[in-house]
Structure 1
Amino acid sequence: MKNIVEMNHITKTFPGIIANDDVSLALRTGEIHALLGENGAGKSTLMSILFGMYQPDSGEIIVNGNKVEITNPRQATELKIGMVHQHFKLVDTFTVTENIILGVEEVVKGAVDKKKAREAIVQLSERYNLNVDPDAKIEDISVGMQQRVEILKLLYRESDVMIFDEPTAVLTPQEIEELMEIMLELQKEGKSIILITHKLGEIKRVADRCTVLRKGKYIGTVEVADVSIPEMSEMMVGRKVDLDIDLKPIERGDVVLSVENLSVESSHGNHDSVKSASFALHSGEIVSIAGIEGNGQRELVYAIAGMMPIKSGEIVLNGENIEDKSIRYRNTHGISHIPEDRHRDGLVLEYNLAYNLALKKYFMPQFAEKGFLKFAHIDKYARDLIQSFDIRSSKGPDSIARSMSGGNQQKAILAREIDLGSDVLMAVQPTRGLDVGAIEYIHKQLVAQRDAGKSVLLVSYELSEIMNVSDRILVIHDGELVGEFKPEDVTQQELGLYMAGAKRGNKNETI
């Protein structure tokens, strides 16, 4: 089978880091080729080079037997190479059709021929069983449907090579299965696919071959059918990885946080994002909230953390109502928060690591006196946390947060929040976009908090993660808590039905 794309001896450096160090990859015509590696391994950089977003320092790219220089994404599109980014590149207020033709509009007599484009999109949608409404606005359709729009963009541009970057991060089990089927159908049509994913089960499900990168270097390419999931994990991180959590039996303690009939208004639109939600967290347990992204999880956590006002209801922390308390008060009286968006809400990206680690303590006597910071104390505190939580960066406490890998940024936030010693740790998508080594580490830290008698509220869109580390599971749909389960009493498929709103009403108050 001939190669449609060859990337030979690609090297790409950024200040202080070699992102790709003499990396080679060959994509065969009509294959699904997985690209696997830890955070910072160089996967996205390599694919950004193929899509024309970066140019390599050295090496060559061959497409259909011809050596090419891809200097921008438009040139990649002309070479029939397309990319579905992890964060979709869609305009919320545009229709599906308008998004798909954006940048490649066909103009007739000075006007965009939307009718002809719409007809072509309908035909593509039917041919590939994508079932997308061409007239719907992006803001009105699900995340899963938005991803199908991204796929239609590539099909409309007649891409032969399709790059998928972490495509299942925000999908339900049913949507993931549908996407896998779509990818296999695209393969049958002769498309060649590169799949970047941390989910080894997905690689086993659809990929023919897998190329592994580690710390910017090429480790090897394997036939997926010939290797096990543990073997792929070991290739990726260089050691054996154990993601199976054995939750030791522990008797949960008193209620430390209770939420009663909590309603939160949406930040856009005249409706409530959270609708009369009630639940309680006990010491010594991990309670997970399962749901499709955008069903009120963000607003619920923001309300508890004090980052959004509530419309009605009560939030009680250790017997004290805190609805009107400041964010700092909640931080210093028992609530830690690992936010979903580590860049927007978790870190000051232009600050160094030391300042980020001290963000929630800098005003305390340990670090400040008469309005002046004690820089030596902050530096020592940061070095202690860096060692305790194995936070890796090029310049230690002086490293700028923006320059660090996603996994180490997340470790920094985890270290800061755990060191607060809070009774309640809220962790929202704590492992999103991380490799299996970092996921293993963070899961063990969450369980250690639970075993130390703390209460952990985990919000995750990964059902395997929820099933693995939870004592109890709450399901949220359209702002309402619609079910409560123990993980041993429910399947992922059943949880998926509750998440999608197809089932509801089994909330068991006695669990």
Structure 2
Amino acid sequence: MSLDIHAGELLALVGENGAGKSSLMNVLYGLYHPDEGEIALDGQPVSFKSPRDAIARGIGMVHQHFMLVPTLTVAENVVLGREPTRWGRLDLDRACAQVADTCKRFGFTLDPRAPVDSLTVGSQQKVEIVKALHRGAKVLILDEPTAVLTPQEAEDLFRVARGLKEQGHTVVFISHKLREVLSIAERIAVMRRGKLVAEVKAAETTVDVLANLMVGESRPSSAVVAPYQPPSGAVVLEAQGLKARGEDGRSALNGVTLSVHAGEIVGIAGVDGNGQRELAEVITGLRPLEEGHGTLLGKPLKGLSAYEARRRGVGHVPEDRLRRAVVKGMSVEENVALGRQGEPPFARGPWLDFKGRRERTQKLMGAYDVRPPDPLLPIQALSGGNQQKVVVAREMDPRPKLLVVVQPTRGLDISAVAQVHSRLRQERDNGGGVLLISLDLEEVLTLSDRVYVLFEGRVTGTFTRQQYDEREIGRCMLGAESGHG
């Protein structure tokens, strides 16, 4: 793999999951060490033993999964490892003043004394960027920076990136969202299976050309969206007036009423943090229901546990795969067996069936194109997109009666997105019910037969496919009540 990065440019790096984008950037940041080859910075060969070396030479990286200490303040996170001291102790006032100065210099609006866990995801990402700039970064690597952002936050990030470029910084932008790449980058480098296959100017290419370069073949075609048909299958989920609290103890669901039938995909649209996670967790038994009632596959929703939800036939793809869907210390095949380790083909009677587990994992890895296709690899050795494929494969493998998916294609490349979308449609066509929760409004509208819009934990609009109006749905996402539904 060879790549030139020019001073003062905004370069995008694209490729399929497992193409090597993050691995390459981790080499440049000193997290990984190359077996061969060399890195030259300003024309001089360099060798980074750790990120500390890379930071000292002006290279900063904002990872896809933020590396912040949530219980510390913004200032404490930014100066961590470089704390100003007084009498041998942290000088918090000086730290806050330094961080405020960095924010002012680069146009950020952050409260240095605010606890990080009180910030929105978009603001936490700004803290990561400020941390890199505070340490003198002239080259800033952004790994999937919009994967967890709302459209509004993504636009804010683009303004920040363009502003840094205007101040002479170099920005490397890793993304699977090709339309975003075309809107922000000057030059685009395309990787495939660990190699550079093309370099193009953003102004001279298209989404289709980039997609074909990434996969080495024609872009996966989008399925034809069928006209809306009122649901005729049995009700698999019916909820009336659901109320529940969030992690902070405050009300997160404020009387949500919805239903999902067998043979339909129901989408939940909304800006992040409006009760989507709590709704998914109530339905899958991970969060207690405080008020309201309903039925899940014919039995009461009240008092549901995660174990009972799985026994009833509920599959769940959570939004945070690293903390809520996989066990990092386990292998891929052990993660595939999670929740079903006592059932065939993962067990025979009271004994684990290692051969059956291996064969099922290999089959799923092949079906979902998980790379590298080694069931014995630790799950954390896979790229984020390939970890997501493993989770989706595991939850869809037993053909659940109700599949609750939250951000199912976050971090996936264009081929994998098409594959997951196809699988969700197959699940619906086979008679399963699907509850799709996504911050990508285009994804929700493309897949869903019906859509509920959440704002501050309440439903502000209900739409069938024939009623879709992005402007009206956008108004509901901001709190306006719709006349639909």
Which sits farther off after the overlay, 409-418 or 452-461? 409-418
Provide the alpha-carbon RMSD of the alignment: 2.8
Q: Which amino acid aligns with 2:200?
A: V
The answer as to 2:481 corresponding to 1:505 is: yes
**Equivalent residue number for residue 266 of structure 1:** 246
Instruction: Choose which of 127, 130, 135 in structure 2 pairs with 1:149.
Output: 127
Structure 2 CA distance for aligned equivalents of residues 247 and 485 of structure 1: 16
1:53-452, aligned counterparts within 5 Å? 53-108=31-86, 110-242=88-220, 244-249=222-227, 251=229, 252-253=231-232, 254-267=234-247, 269-349=248-328, 351-364=330-343, 368=347, 370-374=349-353, 377-378=356-357, 381-382=360-361, 384-386=363-365, 388-391=367-370, 393-395=372-374, 401-452=379-430
Structure 1 CA distance for aligned equivalents of residues 27 and 376 of structure 2: 30
1:222–1:372 Cα change, 3 Å: same
Structure 1 CA distance for aligned equivalents of residues 346 and 142 of structure 2: 46
1:50–1:41 Cα change, 3 Å: same
Structure 2 CA distance for aligned equivalents of residues 145 and 492 of structure 1: 26
User: SS of the counterpart of 1:144?
Assistant: helix
Structure 2 CA distance for aligned equivalents of residues 112 and 386 of structure 1: 49
1:111–1:80 Cα change, 3 Å: same
* Contact 2:314-2:400 at 8 Å conserved across structures: yes
Shift in Å, 1:458: 0.9
1:503–1:345 Cα change, 3 Å: closer
User: SS of the counterpart of 1:198?
Assistant: coil
Gaps of at least 5 residues in structure 2 are none
Shift in Å, 1:389: 4.5
Q: Deviations over 1:336-379 (max 9, x none)?
A: 22222334443455555555444454544776554234555555
Shift in Å, 1:441: 0.5
Structure 2 CA distance for aligned equivalents of residues 103 and 190 of structure 1: 26
Structure 1 CA distance for aligned equivalents of residues 334 and 219 of structure 2: 32
* Contact 2:347-2:356 at 8 Å conserved across structures: no
User: SS of the counterpart of 2:37?
Assistant: strand
Shift in Å, 1:324: 3.0
**Equivalent residue number for residue 459 of structure 1:** 437
Structure 1 CA distance for aligned equivalents of residues 468 and 309 of structure 2: 34
Q: Which amino acid aligns with 1:291?
A: G
**Equivalent residue number for residue 446 of structure 2:** 468
Q: Deviations over 1:273-330 (max 9, x none)?
A: 3222211112222112223444332222122111222222223024321433443443
- TM-score for both structures, normalised by structure 2: 0.90
1:364–1:79 Cα change, 3 Å: closer
Shift in Å, 1:89: 2.0
Identity, in percent, stands at 39
Shift in Å, 1:487: 6.0
Structure 2 CA distance for aligned equivalents of residues 403 and 112 of structure 1: 37
Structure 2 CA distance for aligned equivalents of residues 79 and 265 of structure 1: 46
Structure 2 CA distance for aligned equivalents of residues 386 and 213 of structure 1: 22
User: SS of the counterpart of 1:213?
Assistant: strand
* Contact 1:241-1:440 at 8 Å conserved across structures: no
Gaps of at least 5 residues in structure 1 are 1-22
1:115–1:443 Cα change, 3 Å: same
1:415–1:78 Cα change, 3 Å: closer
Q: Which amino acid aligns with 2:481?
A: G
User: SS of the counterpart of 2:219?
Assistant: coil
Structure 1 CA distance for aligned equivalents of residues 381 and 465 of structure 2: 38
Shift in Å, 1:210: 1.1
**Equivalent residue number for residue 20 of structure 2:** 42
Shift in Å, 1:47: 0.9
Structure 1 CA distance for aligned equivalents of residues 7 and 475 of structure 2: 37
Q: Which amino acid aligns with 1:56?
A: P
Structure 2 CA distance for aligned equivalents of residues 478 and 379 of structure 1: 44
Q: Which amino acid aligns with 2:237?
A: L
* Contact 1:284-1:455 at 8 Å conserved across structures: yes
1:128–1:403 Cα change, 3 Å: closer
Shift in Å, 1:446: 0.6
User: SS of the counterpart of 1:25?
Assistant: coil
Which sits farther off after the overlay, 436-445 or 346-355? 346-355
TM superposition outliers: structure 1 runs of 4+ over 6 Å: none
* Contact 2:15-2:190 at 8 Å conserved across structures: yes
Structure 2 CA distance for aligned equivalents of residues 477 and 361 of structure 1: 35
User: SS of the counterpart of 2:182?
Assistant: helix
Shift in Å, 1:156: 2.1
Q: Deviations over 1:19-57 (max 9, x none)?
A: xxxx11111111100111111111111111111112211
- TM-score for both structures, normalised by structure 1: 0.85
Structure 2 CA distance for aligned equivalents of residues 247 and 127 of structure 1: 49
* Contact 2:2-2:195 at 8 Å conserved across structures: no
